[in-house]
Structure 1
Amino acid sequence: MTGRTLLAVAALGAFHGLNPAMGWLFAVARGLQERRRAALLAALPPVAAGHLASVAVVAALVTATRSVTTSTTLTVTGGAVLVGFGLWRLLSRRHFRWAGMRLSTAQVAGWSFLMSSAHGAGLMLLPVLLADPPAGGHAGHLAATPAGALTGLLAAGVHTVAMLAVALTVAVVVYGVLGVGVLRRVWFNVDRLWAGVLVAAGVVTLAAAI
């Protein structure tokens, strides 16, 4: 995996960290509910773990099974899924509702996994991962599965570290300065921006395959 690819997955992680649907708003709510910053900080690691699992599933599958002959199929399929999912989120009038605040660590991680999957977090890595040259193997043959899977897990790890760093920064600033009273409008704007980026990524992916 090239340095440019790592920077790209880290940038996408930073973008995910800005999205309140990916967990920082949940962490802020926990901190305000228990009236202590430690509760906010404790909520973020399981949120990151769930996000990592969601992204790793897609990243490992893509990098472990890609080959020269299957790249076009993966690209077209992934691009179509990105466009379709993004349009659904963009046109949908429904918003995901926050779960109850009294959740265990495992439940928070599970919630984060479902939320990240529902928002297409792993799908956002498809254009980057499919643009990276296959790791080993000859034209027309599958890349080495263990090496490919490890590459995908590395991408997911870098992505999640960047996501956690940004989410932590935003959560601490919001908790200490802004509060949550003005976040309803911000949530709407970021949610629509997120959907628009999904569509744009899908279009770019499909254009690269044609």
Structure 2
Amino acid sequence: MLNLWPWLAVAGLGAVHGLNPATGWMFAAAWGVQSRDRAQALRALAPIALGHAASVALVAATVALGLAMDRIVLQALAGVLLAAVAIYHLAGRKTRRTRTPAGHAGLALWSFMMSTAHGAGLMLVPALIPLCMADAPARAITASGSLTLALAAVGVHTAAMLAVTGVIASAACRGFDAGARLLRRVGEETGGA
């Protein structure tokens, strides 16, 4: 049972990340609401998961290989990248007449930057260390064995985050649809009276 706790911690942190609107469920829901297709909300989850997994994998690989990482430098880099994207979009807004949703690449980049800026991978370090340093049968004594376990932890973490994000985005789309139907019905009833 002791070997299971780090995995449960990794999955639990993924679920908590999925609850946070900054990790993408609000953008996935917005895609679904804007297109009036809940399946579109679920399609938005792939780039969100890719960006989040890339950020977490960067930290996991660093921990597994025993390298040092300066959190402040990494967060500052993500912040500068986020500011550069925002400035680019603000500068391009003058030529656009309608607001279009971000593409898949934009969503993946945004997810990577947000995950890196709020330290998603750093939260996993306490769970990764026992996984990578334990004498469990699944771990070889090599760095590549630790790296494999760290990347498996990234997969478990991202799957849990993706499941929660998908459930919340779908629920938000359903709630918006139900609210819109209710408003139409109330409008019809009051308009006809």
Contact 1:10 1:162 in 2 (8 A): yes
Partner of 1:128: 127
Question: How big is the alpha-carbon RMSD for the aligned residues of Structure 1 and Structure 2?
Answer: 2.8
Query: How many corresponding residue pairs?
Result: 149
Aligned to 1:190: none
Q: Which amino acid aligns with 2:13?
A: L
2:168 & 2:132 partners in 1: Cα distance?
A: 34
Contact residue 135 and residue 144 of structure 1 kept, 8 A: no
Which position in structure 2 is the counterpart of 1:31?
32
Counterpart residue number, 2:145:
147
The Cα shift of 1:133 comes to 5.9
Match of 1:17 in 2: 18
8 A Cα contact 1:64 1:152, kept in partner: no
Segments of 5+ residues of structure 2 without an aligned counterpart are: 76-85, 90-98, 136-140, 180-193
- The 8 Å contact of residues 65 and 148 in structure 1, kept in 2 or not, is answered as no
Larger Cα-atom Rg: 2
Q: TM-score, normalised by structure 2?
A: 0.68
Q: Structure 2 CA distance, aligned partners of 1:101 and 1:112?
A: 18
Q: Could you tell me how far apart the structure 2 residues matched to 1:120 and 1:162 are?
A: 17
What stretches of structure 1 of length at least 5 have no aligned partner?
Answer: 67-73, 86-96, 137-142, 182-210
Q: Which residue of 2 aligns with 1:48?
A: 49
* Structure 1 outlier segments of 4+, above 4 Å: none
How far residue 126 of structure 1 moved from its aligned partner, in angstroms, is 1.2
**CA positional deviation for 1:178:** 5.5
**C-alpha distance in structure 2 between counterparts of 1:107 and 1:171, whole Å:** 18
Partner of 1:103: 102
Using the TM superposition, give the Cα deviation of residue 123 of structure 1 relative to its aligned residue in structure 2, in angstroms. Answer: 0.8
**What is the CA–CA distance in structure 2 between the aligned matches of 1:145 and 1:7, rounded to whole Å?**
23
Identity %: 46
CA–CA distance in 2 between the matches of 1:36 and 1:167?
Answer: 17
Please state whether the residue corresponding to 1:65 is helix, strand or coil: coil
> Residue 61 of structure 1 contacts residue 152 of structure 1 at CA under 8 Å; is this kept in 2?
no
- State the 1:113 CA deviation: 0.6
SS in 2 for 1:59: helix
Shift of 1:54: 0.5
